Amino acid sequence: MEPTETVYGLGANGLNAEAVAKIFAVKGRPADNPLILHIADQEQILPLTTGLNENARALMETFWPGPLTIVVPRSAIVPDIVTAGLDTVAVRMPSHPVAAALIRAAGCPIAAPSANVSGKPSATNARDVAEDMTGKIAGILDGGSCGIGVESTVVDTTSPVPTILRPGGITREMLEERLGAVEIDPALNGDPALRPKAPGMKYRHYAPQAPMYLYEGKEADLRLTQAVLRAQKQGLHVGVLCDDTVKERLEESLRRGHTAEILSWGQGKPDLAEHLYELLRDFDRVSPELIIGMGVDEKGLGLAVMNRLRKAAGYQILLAEEGGITVKSGSGFPEFLLVAEE
Ligand code: TXA
Ligand code: MG
């Protein structure tokens, strides 16, 4: 178990099928979901692939070490269990010094998924790893809290136009600046009719135990505030996910002794990315009846955090724009979330 700059990983020798099988068993991970191989030096990718094209090389040169995973054609030394039988392999060179030291000490690529039980939010600190993994693993390398907080960006370099299969720490804008055109896997917007190209993206993920609802749009903060005040009047025990500004406003408006669990990520998208998983796990510790959250725009890191937030909310999303609230996706919303007060 090692910290990386994105999230903690559950590692094993990536060229040893038996060791890799233990990862799947401990996580309860479906066998059709391939793993990322982590390396510590650029040249370490060469034996793992039958060839790197210009896009792959440009990405390695620009963003490694860092929160970017590239999907490349696999070579025969990569065990089938790592790639779930695909003819490509995902490779990443983390920038966290502890991860790099571990990979160098191991002397082999390390296969590592995020160190959470499948379906739970990824772990971004040693305590959260211990919560999911104690008794199941050999040990935890505690490198403190992860700075980025959401997983690496996964880019398929084998498609004619490089394609983002999972948004993450390296933003779409950064990729476009280096490569020109970049596509985004259309399945990422949650349409259940489309099959994501990264098998892991199809699973319900990152979900807290309580049902979660999300306000998006320009007036998300206003509508969230109003909804929480109504919930308080109805005596509901609600969890609230918001930024510092909204938290302060809510605490002023709610009467003393209120029961809302208001968890703030701080201010801005980097804070949201850094704390999102921790906060989702914290909601499970305080067990609200439901969670109401607010979204951010999709620029920069916004694409990655909104991908995670929408999944956490099971795509139960309300759009709050000037003039009212409409259902963006989902159904069966509690009535009090839909009231647009003047
Ligand atoms: O930041 C990260 O990437 C963290 C840290 C530990 O490095 N790792 C991580 O691994 O998030 P995991 O296993 O939780 O997610 C890997 C994602 C999954 O969605 C998987 O389906 C996708 O990458 N993936 C792996 N190999 C692939 C391949 N050959 N083609 C397409 N998608 C692939
Ligand atoms: Mg994961």
Check pocket membership of 198 for ligand 1, CB cut-off 6 A: yes
What are the residues facing 92 on neighbouring strands?
38, 69
In this prediction, residue 132 has a pLDDT band, given cuts at 50, 70 and 90, of very high
State pTM to two decimals: 0.95
Whole-number pLDDT of residue 341: 84
In this prediction, residue 3 has a pLDDT band, given cuts at 50, 70 and 90, of confident
Tens of pLDDT, residue by residue over 12-34, are 999 999 999 999 999 988 999 99
Identify which of 2, 36, 277 to mutate to test ligand 1's pocket (most ligand atoms within 8 A of the CB): 36
Check pocket membership of 310 for ligand 1, CB cut-off 6 A: no
Ligand 1: residue whose CA is nearest its atom 10: 113
Ligand 1: residue whose CA is nearest its atom 33: 198
**Averaged pLDDT score across all residues of the chain:** 94
In this prediction, residue 59 has a pLDDT band, given cuts at 50, 70 and 90, of very high
In this prediction, residue 1 has a pLDDT band, given cuts at 50, 70 and 90, of low
Rounded to whole angstroms, the Cα distance separating 11 from 106 reads 11
Check pocket membership of 7 for ligand 1, CB cut-off 6 A: yes
Check pocket membership of 96 for ligand 1, CB cut-off 6 A: no
Whole-number pLDDT of residue 4: 82
Q: Which atom of ligand 1 is nearest to the CA of 166?
A: 19
Whole-number pLDDT of residue 229: 94
Check pocket membership of 69 for ligand 1, CB cut-off 6 A: yes
Residue-by-residue DSSP string for 120-162: SPPP-SHHHHHHHHTTTSS------S-SS-SPPEEEESSSSS-
Whole-number pLDDT of residue 200: 85
Check pocket membership of 307 for ligand 1, CB cut-off 6 A: no
Tens of pLDDT, residue by residue over 265-322, are 999 999 999 999 999 999 999 999 999 999 999 999 999 999 999 999 999 999 999 9
Check pocket membership of 74 for ligand 1, CB cut-off 6 A: no
The rounded Å distance from CA 203 to ligand 2 centre is: 10
Whole-number pLDDT of residue 193: 84
In this prediction, residue 5 has a pLDDT band, given cuts at 50, 70 and 90, of confident
Residues 305, 214 contacting (CB under 8 angstroms): no
In this prediction, residue 244 has a pLDDT band, given cuts at 50, 70 and 90, of very high
Whole-number pLDDT of residue 204: 64
Rounded to whole angstroms, the Cα distance separating 18 from 7 reads 24
Whole-number pLDDT of residue 255: 77
Whole-number pLDDT of residue 340: 86
Q: Can you tell me which residue has the tokens 């505690």? A: 142
The rounded Å distance from CA 211 to ligand 1 centre is: 26
Looking at per-residue confidence, does 342 or 141 come out higher? 141
- Beta-carbon contacts of 156 under 8 Å, excluding residues fewer than 6 positions away, are 71, 88, 162, 163, 165, 197
Ligand 1: residue whose CA is nearest its atom 20: 200
Mean pLDDT of 138-147: 91
Looking at per-residue confidence, does 89 or 198 come out higher? 89
- Beta-carbon contacts of 294 under 8 Å, excluding residues fewer than 6 positions away, are 214, 215, 216, 220, 221, 224, 241, 242, 243, 246
- Beta-carbon contacts of 27 under 8 Å, excluding residues fewer than 6 positions away, are 10, 113, 116, 117, 118
Mean pLDDT of 129-150: 92
Check pocket membership of 36 for ligand 1, CB cut-off 6 A: yes
Tens of pLDDT, residue by residue over 151-173, are 999 999 999 999 999 999 999 99
Q: Which atom of ligand 1 is nearest to the CA of 8?
A: 6
In this prediction, residue 331 has a pLDDT band, given cuts at 50, 70 and 90, of very high
What are the residues facing 164 on neighbouring strands?
155, 184
Check pocket membership of 86 for ligand 1, CB cut-off 6 A: yes
Check pocket membership of 167 for ligand 1, CB cut-off 6 A: no
Q: Which atom of ligand 1 is nearest to the CA of 169?
A: 1
Q: Which atom of ligand 1 is nearest to the CA of 29?
A: 13
